[in-house]
Every structure is written in C-alpha cells, then in structure tokens.
Structure 1
C-alpha cells in the first residue's frame, strides 16, 4: 500500500542531519475503487426514455355523410411548406372566400402567437387543420405538432393538401 523509504546519511561534515523520508503511495486500490463505483453507477442508472407524443386517432366512419361538417369560421388552416416556411389562414381554403394567407415561422412570436390569439383560444369549436406539402420536411411536421402541444390545442387534424391550398401559397409567394 504505502511504503516509506529512508535515505542514508551522506557522511559529509561533522553535523548530523535528520534523515529525509520519502513516501511512495500505491494508487492501485484507489483506482480499483473508482472503477468499481463507476461500474456500479453506470449499471444502476436509468437512461432517459424516448418521449413520444400520444395522438388519438378517430374511429373510421362508414360513410362521409356520418362526418360532422366543419364551418369555415371554426377552422384555422396551417400549411407546412418547403424550406422551413409556414403559411396559415382562417377558413377552409375555398377560393370564393378569398382567404388572407399569411406567412409565419416556428418561433414563439410566429405560429405560437397565432395559436394563442383570442380568435383561436376563445372559440371552443376551433379546429386546426395541418396540411403538409410534398416538399416539406418531417422535422417541420414534428415542430408544428410540438407547437400544438405547447399551446394545448385540443382539436386538430392532419389533412391532405389540396390544389386550392397550393394555389393560395403560390399566390402568397408571388406577391
């Protein structure tokens, strides 16, 4: 473990000097203990589990007539575009209604502010329709689902994008 080595007296001169002692510590037991503790804590630690978002899917209806129609005044449509772009408008996207399509982003001052606005939160029947373009990224879809979870949006639906939606986005980008 530890040993003490004495140095011999050099024998020079008439004075007698005190013996110098040097200490040599064997570090092997301490290293063994450190690795035992490290191994113990690694084996007993609970690693973080992947977090998943629970999505309740509706029961499949027998016919389209069984579905409840959604009013345009109770709809917010979010379109996930390419290059991390995000568009939204209130309504169902009927070109006759000429909805105002606005561009936004995934920040707290972007789509989150829209989802927390009084127009959306005060309407209990408000349903958010999320439509993704073919060129959008999977990460963007996850981001918008995260925003819906953060803002505690109860009613939302993942819907296929229509040609009307693509036209509205192209008109917005062309301005």
Structure 2
C-alpha cells in the first residue's frame, strides 16, 4: 500500500507491516507442513504367567553363550558369563555395560558352540525402573535378539554378592 504525498509538509515515515505478517504466516505454514511429528515407540516385553506350569519345550540356555546382568542401585550393574557361582561377577556402571556386552558377544560367537548369545536381565529391589528401561533400550540398540527378564529367580548367592558390594 503505497501513498502519494502531495502536501508540502513533511510526513512522518510509516511502515506497513502487512507484507511482514503475510510472510510470517507463510513460513509458519511451511514449517508445520514439512515437520515430521514422531510418535513414541513402545517395546513389547512379554513374561510368562507365574501360575502357568513350566512348558515342556523350555529353552535351554548354553552357559558359554549366556550373560547375566543384575541391576543394582546407584546405576550399578553386576554381570557374569555362564552359570551363577562359577565365575565372579563384575561390577560396572550402567553406562559401561555396552562395551562388556559387545566383548562377551564376540567371545561367545567365536567359541564354536552353536546357539544364540543371550542376555538375562535380573532387576533387583535396589534398581530403578529407569535402569531397567535403559538396559532394555541398550539391548535393542545393540540388536541382541535373545534377551530374557527374570526378576523372580534371583539366587541367594547373587543377592549376597550384591549386598557385599553395596549395590542391593
């Protein structure tokens, strides 16, 4: 909107904001239409019913290909390979477990024993739900296909070790 000044007296300058407002609405519309709205993704976790009898076709885990991770308090984990009590657990921070999982998976896959590498996660009473979610996310990111959750069968020797280390 241009105005023609025909008078002899100087008019005060005036700024027309109409084109600026039009441009703002065009930009807002463009960004709204081109933005991808992401939806949160949920991970399916299935556990058998406690009242259900043990199935006859139970999956037997190979000790050389099984890593057990015990979630403790203060973002600490204790892990061991194989059977409980046959090897001393290692205490690590939750954010260091990725390296240990990868090393153990490589050793297990190079051992010559058939079967899939399995991570058995055992959340304890000292762990938080956030630690559990972080652990499951880490396993998903690392593409560990065989992972199991067992919060019901934490052995007394595992509990005793974690109490001695102050993470239960």
The TM tier, using the shorter chain, reads 0.7 to 0.9
Q: SS at 2:149's partner residue?
A: strand
Residue 3 of structure 2 corresponds to which residue in structure 1? 3
Q: SS at 1:88's partner residue?
A: strand
Residue 168 (structure 1) shift: 2.3
1:32-43 correspondence runs (5 A)? 32-35=22-25, 37-39=27-29, 41-42=31-32
The answer (yes or no) to whether the contact 1:115–1:121 under 8 Å persists in 2 is: no
Residue 140 of structure 1 corresponds to which residue in structure 2? 131
Q: Provide the alpha-carbon RMSD of the alignment.
A: 3.2
The answer (yes or no) to whether the contact 1:86–1:105 under 8 Å persists in 2 is: yes
Residue 16 of structure 1 corresponds to which residue in structure 2? none
Tell me the distance in 2 between the aligned counterparts of 1:83 and 1:59. Answer: 29
Residue 50 (structure 1) shift: 1.2
Higher relative contact order (CA 8 A, sep 6+): 2
Residue of structure 2 aligned with 1:157, choices 148, 152, 155 = 148
Tell me the distance in 2 between the aligned counterparts of 1:24 and 1:149. Answer: 61
Q: SS at 2:3's partner residue?
A: strand
Residue 159 of structure 2 corresponds to which residue in structure 1? 166
Q: TM-score, normalised by structure 1?
A: 0.71
Residue 42 (structure 1) shift: 2.7
Tell me the distance in 2 between the aligned counterparts of 1:122 and 1:116. Answer: 12
Number of positions where the alignment pairs a residue of Structure 1 with one of Structure 2: 158
Tell me the distance in 2 between the aligned counterparts of 1:44 and 1:101. Answer: 51
Residue of structure 2 aligned with 1:115, choices 84, 101, 107 = 101
Residue 51 of structure 1 corresponds to which residue in structure 2? 41
Q: Which runs of 5+ in 2 are unaligned?
A: none
Residue 76 (structure 1) shift: 0.9
Tell me the distance in 1 between the aligned counterparts of 2:15 and 2:56. Answer: 85
Are 1:106 and 2:94 matched, yes or no?
yes
Residue 173 (structure 1) shift: 3.9
Q: Which runs of 5+ in 1 are unaligned?
A: 10-19
